[in-house]
Amino acid sequence: MLVTPVSKRNPPSLLAWSVWSLGAGLFLLGFFHRVAPAVLHRELSLDFGLSAASLGSLSALYFYSYVVMQIPTGLLADRYGPRRLLTAGLVLSTLGAMIFALAPSLFWAGVGRLLIGAFVAVGFVCTLKLATHWLAPERFALAAGLLLVAGMTGAVFAGVPLHLASEAFGWRTVTLGAGMVGLILAAAVWMIVRDDPDERGYSGYVSAGAGNEEHPSEWQKLKRVFAYRNSALLALAPGGIVGSVLAFSGLWGIPFLTDVYGMSSAIAATVCSSIMLAWAFSGPVFGLFSERIRLRRLPYLIGTCIAAGCWSAVILVPDLPRGILVALLLGAGFFSGGMILGFTQAKESVPMALAGTVSGVVNMGVMCGPMLLQPMIGWLLDRSWSGNVGIEGIRIYSFDGYRFGFSLMLAWLAIAILSIALSRETHAQQHLDQN
């Protein structure tokens, strides 16, 4: 008698989202480390004797190694799977956090920042890879949007909570504590996460043989990714969008709001955290809206244009009423969330076998923004400094100086708008060509 094999069912939603959430945990932790220098700018400046340019460079070291790791991460995620990369990333980023926290000099602080950036870099791409396998295709845009929420949650913890904790316990102790969280997450990832539901006895959403008929080299896969028009355009665009948010909220926003608008550090940190929250909230909104209208490029483009308008008003118009200033900053944060659609649009523009690689390429473009903007803004601030210092000897910059530095944000946003406009719409359809 013949027995008909029972088809495996897809994984339960709770299990699928739990696997996704553990990957998102590394992204959350990485975002905490990413924006912490904004709140710790006073402490870091005093401990290591930093000017604006040197503070910007120290903060940007995170992004240098992060960017360098993006394409390798995408390639390694496609070849070895996200579970191993996530575990290694959590353990080694903890080592970087420990070196940064215990740094006796600027050199060792820089080494710590480099290590943190390099190894939290695996979080975003690996989590998107997990979403591809564990979640239904129609949930990918939502998962990408919620991943932004996870990141912004880390940024919120690096706002007022970090400010209060550093005042109570010192920035070094708090940084060590954040590192310990990474070790706990590493153990959880290793025990619970699997690269595909098939390893748990369930049916995944990517065919086991998809993309495995041939085994191209990493270099060949990278060349194949860039053979698709959208890959380069969608890698160029988000640098201006994310770079503006992270250059401001992740480093220069607090000194701008305290120097120019006379806010206290705590209030300025709250405003910058609120920008991050608005950005986080908008990610799922853009994702759900995009799924409903079955378009990627149009909402991405509209959101970027509105964000650019908000930033332009903040940067170019002096003496804004505080309420209008905060509203514009929140608007800039919210409409920047459209950038999450770039990952979905890029994934849909290439064969599924290249999903990890193209995500790494786009995320490299994302991080090029803050990597370049943070130190360059600091350099321009120092060039325009009039010699004013605060009671602790920290430099104070004028509105004109900040406008001079922040003009770089507007230039890159203009490039972003053009790049998105030139990209091709996917209409929420996955590219199926495997050749």
What does the pLDDT look like over 356-408, one tens digit per residue? 778 778 878 888 888 889 889 989 998 888 777 766 667 788 999 999 999 99
- Report CA Rg, the chain: 21
Overall average pLDDT of the 217-240 stretch: 85
The pLDDT of residue 5: 44
Instruction: Report the pLDDT averaged over residues 163-182.
Output: 90
Tell me what percent of the residues of the chain surpass a pLDDT of 70. 93
* pLDDT surpasses 90 at 156: no
What pTM was estimated for this model as a whole? 0.74
Banded model confidence at residue 211, pLDDT cuts 50, 70, 90 = very low
Q: Which two three-digit tokens encode residue 287?
A: 């994702």
**CB contact set of 160 (below 8 Å; sequence gap of 6+):** 266, 269, 270, 273
CA 237 to chain centre: 14
- Give whole-number Cα distances, 232 to 72, 273, 280, 361, in Å: 17, 31, 25, 8
164 compared with 221, residue with greater pLDDT: 164
pLDDT higher than threshold 60 for residue 210? no
CB atoms within 10 A of CB 197: 23
Lowest mean pLDDT among 136-145, 163-172, 182-191, 214-223: 214-223
Q: What is the pLDDT of residue 153?
A: 84
pLDDT value, residue 333: 94
Share above pLDDT 90 across residues of the chain, in percent, rounded to a whole number: 43
3-state secondary structure 229-275: HHHHHHHHHHHHHHHHHHHHHHHHHHHHHHHHHCCCHHHHHHHHHHH
Q: How confident is the model at residue 212 (pLDDT cuts 50, 70, 90)?
A: very low
Q: What is the pLDDT of residues 89-135, one digit of tens each?
A: 999 999 999 999 999 999 999 999 999 999 998 888 889 889 888 98
CATH number of the 13-196+218-387+394-422 domain: 1.20.1250.20
Crossing angle for the helix pair 82-101 and 106-120, nearest 10 degrees?
A: 160
pLDDT at 84: 92
In this structure, of 101-115, 145-159, 212-226, the range with the lowest mean pLDDT score is: 212-226
* Residue 416: pLDDT over 70: yes
- Which amino acid makes up residue 174? V
The C-alpha atoms of residue 398 and residue 241 are separated, in whole angstroms, by 24
- What integer is the mean pLDDT of 167-179? 91
> What would the pLDDT profile of 51-97 be if each residue is shown by its tens digit?
878 888 888 888 888 888 877 877 777 778 899 999 999 999 999 99
- Residue 377 and residue 250: Cα distance in Å, rounded? 12
Q: Which residue has the higher pLDDT, 387 or 143?
A: 143
Please state, rounded to an integer, the average pLDDT across all residues of the chain.
86
Q: Angle at CA 52, nearest 5°, toward 47 and 58? A: 60
DSSP 69-130: HHHHHHHHHHHH-HHHHHHHHHHHHHHHHHHHHT-SSHHHHHHHHHHHHHHHTHHHHHHHHH
Question: Which tokens hold the place of 252?
Answer: 């220069």
What is the phi-psi region of residue 230: left when phi exceeds 0, alpha when psi lies from -120 to 50, beta otherwise? alpha
Instruction: Evaluate whether 194 touches 323 at the Cβ level (below 8 Å).
Output: no
- Is residue 309 scored above 90 in pLDDT? yes
Closest Cα partner for 401 from 264, 260, 211? 260
Distance of CA 312 to the CA centre of its chain: 22
Are the beta carbons of 142 and 291 closer than 8 angstroms? yes
Inform me whether the pLDDT recorded for 214 exceeds 70. Answer: no
> What is the predicted pLDDT for the residue at 142?
78
Q: Band the pLDDT of 308: cuts 50, 70, 90.
A: very high
Alpha-carbon torsion (167, 172, 173, 177), positive or negative: positive
